Amino acid sequence: MDEQKALALVKAIFTLSKIPARLYRDGKLVAAHSSVIFIPDPVTPQLPKIEKQTDFVGVYATERLQFYGAIRYRENVLVLGPVGKIRLEDPDLVKVLFELNEDRSRTAELKNYFSAIPSKIEIIEFCEMLCAVNSCLNDVTLSPLEISIFNTVKDSSRSIYDDLHKNIETIQDNDYSDNAEYTTLLIEQSHDYEKSMIHFISHGEVEKLKELIGKTSAHAVAVGKLAHDNTRQLKNELICSAVLASRAAIDGGLDVELCYLLCNVYIQKIESAKTFSELASLSMQIVVDYASRVNEMLLGTSTSPIIERAVSYISRNINQRIFVEDIAKALNVNRSYLSVKFKAETGMTVTDYVMKQKIIEAQRLLRYTDKSLLQISSYLDFSSQSYFQLQFKKYTGMTPSQYKKSGS
C-alpha cells in the first residue's frame, strides 16, 4: 500500500468510526482527523512511548483509563484514539490540560473534544479495529489477543509509582496461585458476578470478595505454561479486570490518582508475566489489593462515613475551587452540619483542610515536575500566583521557590 492509500485509510477510519485518527511519518504529523479540533492534540504526552514501539500494533493506557492504538507501517505510525473513559469530569480535564501545558480556561473546549468521540467502544472492539487496519497496511494477520497493552505514567507521579511497585512486591509474598481456589482466570464472568465484585471492592469487603471468587473455583484450570495466544487472552482479561477494580475503588472513595497509578502498575505487572502461575496470582491480588485499600481507608480512621466522603470529594476535586456548599450539595447534607462535624472530627475547618491539601499537591508538583509557579497556581485554581505563594509560605514556612531549591 502506497503513502496516498495510507492517508486515505486514515481519513476513512475517522469517517466510519468518529475516533480521532492521525498519521505520523518519521515522527512528524502529516494528517489528522477528528470531529473537534484541539491543539495541542491530547495524544501528545503518549507520543514518546508510541515512538519507541517496535510491534506492528500496540495499545497505550493512560492514567485516566483512556486507550490509544498505534500501528506501525514502514516509516509511518497511524495513531487512533482515545477510547475508553471518554467522558471526563472537570478535575480530570484540568489534569489533561496541565500535562499539555495549557491553561484551565480551556476546560470547556477540551470537554467538547472528548464529547465528540464515541463513548461506547469496548477495548476488545478497538483491538479488532486495529488488527483489521494492520492487515490492510502490513498484510500481517493478528488476533486482538496478540496485541500488547502498555501503560503510560507521567513523570510527576514517578516516585509514587515506584513506591507502589515496592508495595506490590511485598503483597506478592502471598502467592495465591498455589491454591486452586484462586486460579479463576478463565471464569465466564456473568453480569451478576461482575456487579458483586464491584460492590465488594467499593465497600472494602475483602472476605466476601474472596468468598465470591472461591465459589467460582470449579471453572479454574491447572497452573502451567500457556501458549502465546492463551497468555495474551488472559492478560487482556486481567487488564479489563484491573480497570473495573480501579473504577470500583474510586467509587468507594479511594484516592483517584492512587487508583490510576495502581492500575498502571498492575498493567505493567500483567504484561511482564510469563506463566499462568504468575497471572493466576495477579488475578486475585489485583481485586483483593483494591478492596483491602478501600477497607483500610474506611476502617483505618475514627472519622464517620460522611467525613470520609467529604475528604474523598476534596481529593477528587483538588484542582478546583472547593466551597463548603459544593461538598454539602454533593453529599446531600446540610452545610452547617457538615462544617461543625468536619471540624469536630478532623480538628480543622473545611476551608483549612482544602488549603492544606492544595499545598501538599503543590509540594509534589514542585518536587517532581518542571512546571512553573504560574502553571501550578493556575492548575490548583488559586486566584493569583501571589496568593498561592502567600498560602504556600503560610503552611510550609518557605516560598515555593525556596522549597523547590531545597529539594525537600
Chain centre to alpha carbon of residue 245 = 11
Q: What is the pLDDT of residue 302?
A: 61
Residues 119 and 190 in one domain: no
pLDDT digits (tens, 9 = 90+) for 261-291: 788 888 888 888 888 778 888 888 899 999 9
Establish if 340 belongs to a structural domain.
yes
Residues 121 and 90 in one domain: yes
Q: What is the pLDDT of residue 152?
A: 64
Spatial CB neighbours of 138, under 8 Å, sequence gap ≥ 6: 56, 71, 72, 73
Establish if 317 belongs to a structural domain.
yes
The CATH number covering residue 145 comes to 3.30.450.30
Residues 313 and 269 in one domain: no
Spatial CB neighbours of 401, under 8 Å, sequence gap ≥ 6: 373
Sheet of 57-61: strands edge to edge?
A: 28-33, 21-25, 76-84, 66-73, 57-61, 148-151
Residues 327 and 358 in one domain: yes
- Between CA 172 and CA 181 the distance in angstroms is 17
Q: What is the pLDDT of residue 260?
A: 80
Residues 243 and 315 in one domain: no
What are 21's three cell numbers?
485518527
One pLDDT digit (tens) per residue for the chain, 408 residues: 567 878 899 999 999 999 999 999 988 999 999 999 999 999 999 998 898 888 899 998 887 778 999 999 988 999 999 998 788 889 989 999 999 999 999 999 999 999 999 988 877 789 899 999 999 989 999 887 778 777 665 544 444 444 445 555 555 544 444 443 333 333 344 566 777 888 889 888 888 888 777 665 433 333 333 334 567 777 888 888 888 898 889 888 887 778 887 888 888 888 888 887 788 888 888 999 999 888 887 766 567 888 888 988 888 899 999 999 999 999 999 999 999 999 998 899 999 999 998 998 899 889 878 899 999 999 999 999 999 999 999 999 999 999 998 876
Q: What is the pLDDT of residue 184?
A: 38
Residue 325 neighbours by CB distance under 10 Å: 10
Count CA atoms within 13 Å of residue 42 on its CB side: 33
Residues 194 and 143 in one domain: no
Establish if 175 belongs to a structural domain.
no
**pTM score over 0.75:** no
Residues 268 and 385 in one domain: no
- Tell me the pLDDT of the chain averaged across its residues: 82
Establish if 204 belongs to a structural domain.
yes
Establish if 213 belongs to a structural domain.
yes
Q: What is the pLDDT of residue 219?
A: 39
Residues 357 and 397 in one domain: yes
Dihedral angle computed from the Cα positions of residues 345, 349, 355 and 356, in that order, rounded to the nearest 10 degrees: -40
**Cβ pair 18, 42 in contact under 8 A:** no
Q: What is the extent of the structural domain holding 350?
A: 305-406
What is the total count of domains within the chain?
Answer: 3
- Between CA 47 and CA 51 the distance in angstroms is 6
Give CA separation, 376 vs 99, 100, 163, in Å: 11, 13, 24
